[in-house]
Amino acid sequence: MALYLVNPGVDLTLELYIAPAMEEAICIQWERIRDKAIRQTFIRKLEKQLERLIMECMDWDLKEPTPAQASYAAVISRKLDIPIPSEAMKYRFHMALFIDTYNEQYRAETSKVASPNADEINKAQALAEKLKSARSGDKGPAI
């Protein structure tokens, strides 16, 4: 027996062969689900399992990004203020390209030591001068 998956929108027909024992079991199952409500439950269950199996069989680049990729890309996106492309949110390959493109820039940004601005430097120098003059006015340590 063969099962057919058909998507007329893209002219796709897949013929999937199954073992005779499975064919017999499917026929029995189909007889059991003549009731429309029960059939819909079976179909939803079958859809979920079929989607999972198809995804497992897809090439790596067409799969969804891994949670680690998505998390790292979100960090890069926030730090560099760059939006993650919609294609990268759908496909692992495009997410890898996004990460590869901006990874070096992200690492450079995060490795920068925060440099004080001129105002902070002036305040620090003024405080140092005050401390210096206060110490020079001090008499030696009390004994």
Q: Is the pLDDT of residue 99 over 80?
A: yes
Give, in order, the Cα–Cα distances in Å from 54 to each of 44, 117, 131: 15, 56, 72
Range of the domain at 16: 2-57
With respect to residue 47, please indicate whether it lies within any of the assigned structural domains: yes
Same domain? For 85 and 52 the reply is no
With respect to residue 142, please indicate whether it lies within any of the assigned structural domains: no
With respect to residue 135, please indicate whether it lies within any of the assigned structural domains: no
pLDDT value at residue 123: 83
From the DSSP assignment, how many helices (H) and strands (E) are in the chain? 6, 2
pLDDT in tens, 45-79: 999 999 999 999 999 999 999 999 999 999 999 99
With respect to residue 138, please indicate whether it lies within any of the assigned structural domains: no
| Residue after which a domain boundary falls, among 11, 32, 57 | 57
Please state the separation of Cα 65 from the chain's center in Å: 5
User: How many domains does the chain divide into?
Assistant: 2
The predicted model scores a pTM of 0.62
pLDDT value at residue 35: 82
